[in-house]
A and B are shown apart, each in its own frame.
Chain A
Amino acid sequence: MNDHSTGLVASTIPFSNVDGPGNRFVVFLQGCNFDCVACHNPQTIPGHAFEGDHPPTRLSVDELLVAIRRAAPFLSGVTVSGGEATQQAGFVHALFTAIKADPVLQRLTCFIDSNGGCTPETWRQLAPVTDGAMVDLKCLDQQIHQEMTGQPNGEVLASILQLQSLGLLYEVRLLIIAGVNDDPALLRRTAEWLGAIDPNMRVKVIGFRAHGARPHMPALVPPTPDALDATAALLQQVAPFDVCVI
């Protein structure tokens, strides 16, 4: 059995208002199984670390708890993001278990921000100590997903279905890159697929921004605010989603 008492952590932030409900402490874990062209934290992808980055550190559950305790009075919960959080599922499990065993911290909710690229067994193991998950759906189309992430989307779609049935699906995120995954017919199919799972689903439409991402040839194009609003409107024609555009 592996030692799950430590994890490789890219960074932490004590306050975030964009990583789940309320104010949250966020742990960004190092390492990812995807290689997304639009990644905003490319230094967390193996082989992509570049000079000048804050190097990842190996932290124990106890060390993280010290930092979380300091911020705890101001928090709704803790979110583990990445990189890809489920790549260190054992550590995530150990961290969440420790939070729920701590008399002061147990009121905090434990969320995972995931690319969805993991096995059903991983979610089954994490479910008892997890209160919610946010999953990215880079693209419903297999081919485009492969081009955007370097990986197929079968596990992602299965993760969304499984998390919904476990009652843990908090939000699905759609990252929109102009000319790559914003075809209206594709978006409509995406909405139909999501709407069949939960017509009231929280869907976050995120416009690609160049800031933080690696240079790409040809350059990736951020969608216009109007285009994002049109995407939101299109989704809501299909189902009464709780759509948020950022």
Chain B
Amino acid sequence: MDVNEFEVRAHALVTDGTVGYDQKVRRLAALATEMLPYPVISEACEAALDKRVICDMYEGNAPFTARYILPDYEKALAQGLVHLEMPPPTDLDDALSFLQIMYTHVPSVTTYPVYLGDLDKVLERFVTDDLTDAELDRKLRRFWIGIDRMLPDAFAHLDVGPHDSRITRSILRVERSLRQAVPNITLKVDPAITPDDLVEDAVRTVFQTGKPHFVNHPMMVADHGERYAAVSCYNSLKIGGGAHTLVRVNLKEVALLHTGGVDSFLATTLPHYVELTAELAEARIRSLVEQQHFYDTHWLATEGLIDIDRFSAMFGIFGLAECVNLLMAHDGYEEARYGHDSRADALSRRVVERVAELVAQRPMPYCEGGGGYCYLHSQSGIDLDHEVTAGTRIPVGDEPGMLEHITTCAPHHRYFPAGISDIFHVDETAVRNPQAVVDIIRGAFVSGMRDFTFNLDGNEFIRITGYLVRKSDLVKIAEGEAARHSSDYLAAGSESSYHLTQRAVKRVGVAERSPR
């Protein structure tokens, strides 16, 4: 970007009446890093990046924070914070205050923390028997309002489960009464540990607020160990670690660039672009670690609350549906669509398996959290993605019935330790029969699904990739008012691309980080 373009864009931003003060400050900072040189990459990599065949999620030219950071909050509360001069808290009020202060100092690419802790475990020892449920609700309610107003970003995410607890029950009650977009929540479900009535309580909460998300705890533990969490829009990473960066490859574009059949796609074209994506990841990781020295300098690292050895990078794919349909059409099977044809579904598994194999063979520096390799991920999209489906999803409006949908998606899930989201649509009739949704969640996990998320038709909340917005807030942006949550703007970009509020909303296209 040259100075003239910078001036034009900075001027447009500071004069934009629909963007609030805080958002202007943050976006100006992001704009400024675009004036710095990009990490050194090959010409082929740069060309693929320019054409958006591969994508860096517009994290900026000189990454100076890890993308996703999962501080070890249990350790922080036990040892206190030197940098912030906070002694270890001794009661619940002090613990909540401690966390609230700490959250505002945890960096991420959104500038807001993407992980707020496994709150049931973090707070458990502070919830004493003499504290009534009503008192607990009142304290958490105050804390919850603080999170939404001070961290107005729906990627701010906390986890509970798999064990039942008074805190988890209280969180679900507070969620239902406040109906806020923030924080985002995940319930870890272990069929052997998590009681049905807790899952049902969570399902009832989804009916009200679109939260929580459900994860297959045993499957996550097998990949990450016990100390993992789902953060941001359902990225599963190690606690005390995280992800340096997220790069992704647009499989639709790769298929469009390919001439020939499936075999040469898998043997030549796909590996070429996977390597370019990996090259991009490596360049960005080295810039963050070796140039900006994030892990040598940030207090979270120096105080032992994060450890670079628990980090990796996320390697994302998207546009699988279009990729498969293009390859099938090339072979003369135009009618064989992903999600509707067993041949197309079998091909989708071959493509995903091949990407997984390639990523597992490509060593990546500073990625000990992933055993020296990237984590495969299928979630992200941005508000500029057009005519391409997020991750490995079946395109919006083209989904088969739920059983077919689940059985199509489930075989992919084991390949994506860093998370995969297929968002399911549940009829409003389920409100009178939440056990039906509990049945489906349990079945989904038995079938090998890692993540399960559903939207209730007719809900005020719309789920974008993995974060929530209120329809009423989108209407406000459309009418030229400044929004309170930063994530609302990203959703508005998706909304205007996909006209989501104008049709029967099932689930949304995509949106994560807009470049402007």
A residues neighboring B (CB under 8 Å): 13-18, 21-24, 70-71, 73-76, 244, 246
Contact = CB atoms under 8 A, between A and B. Distances in A.
Interface in B409-436: 426-427, 429-430, 432-433, 435-436
B438 interface: yes
A246 B403 contact: no
A71 B447 CA distance: 10
Q: Among A13, A22, A70, A244, which residue has the most Cβ atoms of chain B within 10 A?
A: A22
Given A15-B401, A15-B402, A73 B435 contact: no
Contacts of A21: 433, 435
Contacts of B444: 74
A25 to B, nearest CB: 9
Contacts of B433: 17-18, 21-22
A246 to B, nearest CB: 7
Contacts of A14: 401-403
Contacts of B439: 22-23, 74-76
B447 A73 contact: yes
A23 B442 CA distance: 11
Contacts of A76: 435-436, 439
B429 A18 contact: yes
Contact of B432 (A13, A23, A75, A246): A246
Contact of A22 (B407, B426, B435): B435
Interface of B: 401-403, 406-407, 426-427, 429-430, 432-433, 435-440, 442-444, 446-447
Given A15-B401, A22-B436, A23-B436, A74 B429 contact: no
Sorted from nearest, which 5 A-B pairs have the closest CB atoms?
A74-B443, A17-B436, A23-B439, A73-B443, A23-B436
Contacts of B446: 73
A119 to B, nearest CB: 31
Nearest to A22: B435
Contacts of B430: 17
Contacts of B438: 22
30 contacts: A13-B401, A14-B401, A15-B401, A15-B402, A15-B436, A16-B436, A17-B427, A17-B430, A22-B436, A22-B439, A23-B435, A23-B436, A23-B437, A23-B440, A23-B443, A24-B436, A70-B403, A73-B442, A73-B446, A74-B406, A74-B439, A74-B443, A74-B444, A75-B443, A76-B435, A76-B436, A76-B439, A244-B432, A246-B429, A246-B432
A208 to B, nearest CB: 17
A246 B430 CA distance: 11
A7 B378 CA distance: 44
B85 to A, nearest CB: 52
Contacts of B403: 14-15, 70-71, 74
Given A76-B435, A244-B432, 6 more contacts: A14-B401, A17-B429, A22-B439, A74-B443, A74-B444, A75-B439
A154 B244 CA distance: 73
A84 B128 CA distance: 57
Nearest to B443: A74
A87 B212 CA distance: 44
B247 to A, nearest CB: 35
Q: Among B401, B432, B433, which residue has the most Cβ atoms of chain A within 10 A?
A: B433
B340 to A, nearest CB: 16
Given A70-B403, A73-B446, A74-B403, A15 B432 contact: no
Contact of B440 (A15, A70, A244): A15
B196 to A, nearest CB: 10
B500 to A, nearest CB: 24
Nearest to B404: A14
A15 B113 CA distance: 39
A22 B439 CA distance: 7
Contacts of A246: 429, 432
A75 B438 CA distance: 9
Nearest to A76: B439
Nearest to A67: B403
B261 to A, nearest CB: 32
B437 to A, nearest CB: 8
Contacts of A23: 435-437, 439-440, 443
Contacts of B402: 14-15
A174 to B, nearest CB: 15
Contacts of B427: 17
Nearest to A25: B403
B241 to A, nearest CB: 33
Q: Among A15, A23, A244, which residue has the most Cβ atoms of chain B within 10 A?
A: A23
B402 to A, nearest CB: 5
A74 B444 CA distance: 7
A73 B436 CA distance: 12
A18 B433 CA distance: 8
Contacts of B435: 21-23, 76
A76 B438 CA distance: 10
Nearest to B431: A17
A21 B443 CA distance: 16
Nearest to A13: B401
B438 to A, nearest CB: 7
B322 to A, nearest CB: 27
A3 B204 CA distance: 45
Nearest to B438: A22
Contacts of B406: 74
Contacts of A71: 403
Contacts of B436: 15-17, 22-24, 76
A71 to B, nearest CB: 5
Nearest to A244: B432
Nearest to B403: A14
A210 to B, nearest CB: 18
Contacts of B440: 15, 23, 74
A246 B433 CA distance: 12
Contacts of A244: 432
B432 to A, nearest CB: 5
A74 B446 CA distance: 9
A212 to B, nearest CB: 15
A90 B337 CA distance: 41
A70 B427 CA distance: 21
A15 B429 CA distance: 12
Nearest to B402: A15
A231 B440 CA distance: 33
A23 B436 CA distance: 4
Contacts of A15: 401-403, 436, 440
A18 B428 CA distance: 10
B45 to A, nearest CB: 44
Contacts of A73: 442-443, 446-447
Contacts of A70: 403, 407
Contacts of A16: 436
